[in-house]
A and B are shown apart, each in its own frame.
Chain A
Amino acid sequence: MKADPAGVLTGAHYLDGDFACGEGAMAAGCRFVAGYPITPSTEVVERIARRFPTMGGSFIQMEDELASMAAVVGASWTGTKSMTVTSGPGFSLMMENIGLAAMMETPCVVVNVQRGGPSTGLPTMVGQADMMQARWGSHGDYEVIALSPQSPQEAFDLTVEAFNLSETYRVPVMFMMDECVGHMTERVVIPEPDEIEVVPRRVTEKSKEDYLPYRLNGHLVPDFARAGDGYRFHTTGLTHDERGYPLMSAECQEACVHRLVEKILGAAGEIEHVEEEATDDAEIVVISYGITSRVAQLAIEMARERGIATGSLRLVVVWPFPERRISELAGRVGGLVVPELNYGQISLEVERIAAGRCPVWHIGHGGGTVHDPETILETILEAARAAA
């Protein structure tokens, strides 16, 4: 369906990534946001707090991030699209109820404007060290979807996409911004409402008598019923059967949890989103995401000037990981270069997929600033020499 015009601020704007993310959420139909202030993400909810009262949205500043995430899961069960926004320390606190959202299969979006860590770290400065936490941060086995925008325009566009994916797969979607993208101000074009495709909450068509909250109906994502529509269903964070009732057995655990993983990994082909440039005849391919992809672009151009056939693969969707595509590249390129603002997270995933078929060069530091393009260039040149 098309976006609700009430939430769409059509036009060309000069916005930072945080504001653009907030606009994306409102355009996507988000009408409940719970948050707790944390740098460098707070501007997202400040934008929403100012705009929600004119579009029937409800914003509440909760007492902490534990509560924010719990409220988002609760609100989503009413069918109202829901989101919370945070940065590293708050992301850690949200892990408990991100696990609940995954287990109850609750659509929602969690924005993490990444800063340097660990702990309180660098509140006002950039980092990309929460990428593995986005995937593995809550205990137990589950899969999420994670996106990483590289510009304020993408902060808008991909926030809409994040909501659409969360609705389609009934899964918490991690929106992994970083401080640079969040605080970078650029031109952002917001389309007309009828040019924005949004996925509405798909509620069950079954009768109250026939409905069971976790019975499958032809695909791995079960039918949703809203609280208050008379289905009088039960849901729990415990391992549960198709009635949503706790059932403590290895068999039920396998049926319940394996599906949480499979509904995402099995659909990876549809969810994956990478942006490639000149990878067809590349000798070296740079794999990057978020703000680092923009720095890497400079290094790639400099390497080409020096005669190195350098391609770029940008992860727009980071999780699920584009395993097949990276595996194809690893089988024929001379090296994969992975710059990121951490000491090795996505690069490990690339190494796992490359499985020794080509060298993987990680370029990382602990955050606080972006890379020097020259540093990335040096590694590209070194990788090219090693491949020769």
Chain B
Amino acid sequence: MNPDLVRDPLPMPEHPVTPYLRMERIPHVWCPGCGIGTVVKCFATALERTGVDLEKVSVCSGIGCSGRTAGYLRLDGFHTTHGRAIPFATGLKLGRPELLVTVVSGDGDLVGIGGNHFIHAARRNLDLLVILINNFIYGMTGGQNAPTTPLTARSSTMPFGNFEPPFNLPHLAASSGAPYVARWTCLHIRRLTWAIEEAIGRKGFRFIEVIAPCPTLYSRLNKLGTGLNGMRFYHDNAEIRHGADTRDVAIGFQEPILCGKFVDEERPTFSELMDSHYGEVLGDEYVAMPPEGGFLHE
């Protein structure tokens, strides 16, 4: 080789979110072009910017590709059962109210098998930050139809195209009572990071949907190209419309994706309602769960 071409390796600065990751577990399981890693990066960046005490942050995931998120973040991480990340997180939050409890999981997990928990947690306005990574398909199991698969899109269990109407997730969350509802895509890394940062500062059931490419399954089965093609599609077809009526933000197959912050209201949380109600009816007799939990010290 021409000696002029031999150079010392460039110094490799540490990636800014390295302290937030379990680097010993890298490489991760996600495919090239997958959007989940982008969400992890945005989440870690948002944690860094808010300066929250990381010792008091828990992350819960369910099962599936996005369900692996809890395993890569250097936080108290719980990789739970399929669909049950939200009720598991409910126990964490009520068991130790001082925690910032987050849920990062996929569409099939949170609104397919876990749909009942999703709407009830939103209804109660439990103090949970829920980031749902929506890739329109069951990835881990090989590309089956999801409750989010757009009409006519192909999946391995809808080989002739999907005929089931999908959920409009911001509308599902908002109509169930969520006080904070936003949607971004994996292309919108700054806006997504800001949204997570903002949502960390809010209380109650905060819901952020992130549209993510799945080049291995959704894109392949639907001949949509690589992850890069997916990003190009978002670039050309995502439209930011803050405050949009959530009834209007449903997603059709390869149709424009409306993004933005749709709901940002203040509503008393489950715990606030419990405290104020019991305080009112029980007076001094009411003893709230201590912030550090119902832990019996020796």
* Contact B84–A67 (Cβ < 8 Å): yes
* Contact B22–A54 (Cβ < 8 Å): no
Q: Which of B60, B286, B296 has the most CB of A within 10 A?
A: B296
Binds A, one of B67-75, B197-205, B221-229, B231-239: B67-75
The 8 A CB mask of A74-89 against B (1 = contact, 0 = none) is 1111111110000000
Chain A contacts with B in 49-99, Cβ cutoff 8 A:
53-58, 60, 62-64, 66-68, 70-82, 96-97, 99
Known: A56-B288, A67-B116. A1 touches B298 (CB 8 A): yes
CB-CB nearest 7 A-B residue pairs: A31-B294, A74-B91, A75-B95, A75-B91, A78-B95, A78-B96, A236-B79
- For this complex, 25 residue pairs linking A to B, each with C-beta atoms less than 8 Å apart, are A4-B296, A31-B289, A32-B294, A34-B90, A34-B91, A56-B290, A66-B117, A67-B90, A68-B87, A72-B91, A73-B91, A74-B88, A74-B90, A78-B95, A78-B293, A80-B294, A100-B84, A198-B296, A200-B296, A230-B55, A232-B74, A234-B71, A237-B81, A238-B79, A246-B71
A233 to B288, CA, bound (A): 27
* Contact B94–A60 (Cβ < 8 Å): yes
Residues in chain A near residue B88, CB distance under 8 A: 70-71, 73-74
Known: A58-B289, A245-B25. A32 touches B91 (CB 8 A): yes
Cβ-defined partner of A82 (8 Å) among B25, B78, B91, B288: B91
* Contact A67–B87 (Cβ < 8 Å): yes
Residues in chain A near residue B286, CB distance under 8 A: 53-54
Residues in chain A near residue B295, CB distance under 8 A: 78-80, 201, 226
Cβ-defined partner of A57 (8 Å) among B25, B98, B289: B289
Give min CB distance, A88 to chain B, whole Å.
21
Residues in chain B near residue A100, CB distance under 8 A: 80-81, 84
* Contact A228–B296 (Cβ < 8 Å): no
The 8 A CB mask of B152-182 against A (1 = contact, 0 = none) is 0000000000000000000000000000000
Known: A6-B287, A100-B80. A71 touches B90 (CB 8 A): yes
* Contact A228–B71 (Cβ < 8 Å): no
* Contact A57–B116 (Cβ < 8 Å): no
Having A74-B92, A75-B92, A227-B99, one finds 7 other A-B pairs with CB under 8 Å, namely A54-B286, A58-B274, A63-B117, A64-B116, A74-B87, A80-B95, A227-B58
Cβ-defined partner of B287 (8 Å) among A56, A233, A246: A56
Residues in chain A near residue B96, CB distance under 8 A: 78-80, 226-228
* Contact B84–A97 (Cβ < 8 Å): yes
Interface membership of A235, Cβ < 8 A? yes
Known: A63-B117, A237-B79. A77 touches B55 (CB 8 A): no
Residues in chain A near residue B133, CB distance under 8 A: none
Interface membership of B5, Cβ < 8 A? no
Give min CB distance, B130 to chain A, whole Å.
14
Interface membership of B7, Cβ < 8 A? no
Q: Which of A64, A70, A77 has the most CB of B within 10 A?
A: A70
Interface membership of A136, Cβ < 8 A? no
Interface membership of A229, Cβ < 8 A? yes
Known: A74-B89, A96-B84. A228 touches B99 (CB 8 A): yes
* Contact A200–B297 (Cβ < 8 Å): yes
The 8 A CB mask of A41-55 against B (1 = contact, 0 = none) is 000000000000111
Interface membership of A311, Cβ < 8 A? no
Give min CB distance, A199 to chain B, whole Å.
9
Chain B contacts with A in 55-114, Cβ cutoff 8 A:
55-56, 58, 60, 70-71, 74-81, 83-84, 86-92, 94-96, 98-99
A198 to B297, CA, bound (A): 11
Interface membership of B120, Cβ < 8 A? yes
* Contact A81–B296 (Cβ < 8 Å): yes
Known: A4-B296, A79-B96, A227-B99. A234 touches B22 (CB 8 A): yes
A34 to B90, CA, bound (A): 10
Give min CB distance, B121 to chain A, whole Å.
9
